[in-house]
Each structure stands twice: as C-alpha cells, then as structure tokens.
Amino acid sequence: MDDSAAGGTDRRSAARRACLLGARYRAQSGWHPASLVDLSPRGCRLRIGEDLPRSAAVRVQLSAAGEKAPAPVEVEGIVVWCRLEGLSYQAGIHFDDAPSDLMDLLDRTG
C-alpha cells in the first residue's frame, strides 16, 4: 500500500478493485463501522471515524447485502497508513494471509 502523495510510486503487490461490500473493523476492542473504498487479496482501504496508529493490528469483516448473500468474511491485517481525508480518516490495511473466500465474495458481489 502506498502512503505517498498523489502521483507517487504505487508499491502494492496486487491491484485493488472498487466494490460494493459492507465493512466494519475491530482494533483493540469492539467493532466499528467503516466504508470499504477498495479491496485486493493483499489489502484494502477503509473510510473510518478515527485515527488508527501505524502497525496496529486490526480485524476487518466484509459482507454483502441481500437475502442470498454469502457469509461475511473476516480478515486480519495491519494498518500501513492512516490519514485525515476531509471529515473522516482513511486507512490502508495490509493482509498477510487473506482467506480464499475473500476474492470469491468480491467476485460474487463486486
């Protein structure tokens, strides 16, 4: 994930895709709402309501809406960057071991 200014070098190991999935995250204690901006097998970008410290461990839960939606997917990750963007924060999360059903969820709903 890249925390450089616009026009900087993109160091991602996988391309990200915009998607229409619900998201929430857990950092330390309790689940917090989030908006998923984009997703890849190696990470995601979340719009959140707080500043998360770099290298913080987080758990991200992604879910699809609808009666026949697949089960939510939970992924453990690390905060690579977090910054204020307008009235909310955006955080780049890196996944070390994304479950195989992560991209299946995106392919079905994306």
Domain around 30: 22-109
Structure token digits, residue 1: 């994930």
Provide the pLDDT for residue 84.
Answer: 97
Q: Is residue 6 part of a domain?
A: no
Lookup result for tokens 């026949």: 68
Q: Is residue 78 part of a domain?
A: yes
Q: Is residue 15 part of a domain?
A: no
**Domains: count for the chain:** 1
Provide the pLDDT for residue 14.
Answer: 52
Q: Is residue 14 part of a domain?
A: no
How many residues can be counted in the chain? 110
Q: Is residue 13 part of a domain?
A: no
* CATH number of the domain that residue 40 is part of: 2.40.10.220
Distance (Å, rounded) from C-alpha 46 to C-alpha 89? 8
Q: Is residue 75 part of a domain?
A: yes
Q: Is residue 74 part of a domain?
A: yes
Q: Is residue 7 part of a domain?
A: no
12 closest CA partner among 37, 35, 55, 44: 44
Helix (H, G, I), strand (E, B) or coil at 14: coil
Lookup result for tokens 């719009």: 47
Provide the pLDDT for residue 5.
Answer: 42
For every one of its 110 residues, what pLDDT tens digit does the chain have, with 9 covering 90 and above?
444 444 555 554 455 555 678 999 999 889 999 999 998 888 999 999 999 999 999 999 998 877 787 789 999 999 999 999 999 999 999 998 878 888 777 676 55
97 closest CA partner among 80, 81, 74: 74
Structure token digits, residue 85: 């963007």
